[in-house]
Structure 1
Amino acid sequence: MTNVIYTCPDCGGDLTMTVLLTYPVIDSATCKSCGADFRKHEETKRIPLPDSFERYEPEPANPYQQPVEREIDRHPISVISNSLSSVEVKLDG
């Protein structure tokens, strides 16, 4: 894969590429050397979602459901030593 660095047409300096998260999205390029700003406004085209997507409908949450005890919850963990590079633990039980 080749990396691309766009250069300024005014001074030849490197451009910083930015995407402005507006609606519609605007691509922006700013020159690090001379401060020139370039923007590309593109037309928004609406197309239907392809048939390969399926509708996702999550199951409704039950506020009265009790939490399920997991295997990891049955084994308390004791921290034996702690440093910036590693943590040594001991499983109690």
Structure 2
Amino acid sequence: MQDLTSEMVRFVGLRFVKSDPSLDDLLSLAILLKAAGLHKKEVVAEFEAARREIPEDDVELDDRYVEALDFVVGFCSSHARIFPDDDDEVTPDSMRSVL
């Protein structure tokens, strides 16, 4: 089941990159991924994979992905975190394992 979920996530992620998503769209995607059973590190990895597909000259879209990632990893107000009670802390060292 996880392989199917991973394939669906990649498909949706690539479609999002091509559709020029708003911040709200990206936050909704992150919430859906969490609801589908992905852990924080997996959502971060999928967003980072999608970011690699963004054309280099589209700084605004890349900034939106970075801002959405702030909500995923918890670099925001505690009430706005997508994974508020998750002990699966994302640090620069832990990111090396998913990139």
- TM-score scaled by structure 1? 0.22
- TM-score scaled by structure 2? 0.21
Structure with higher helix content: 2
Structure with higher strand content: 1
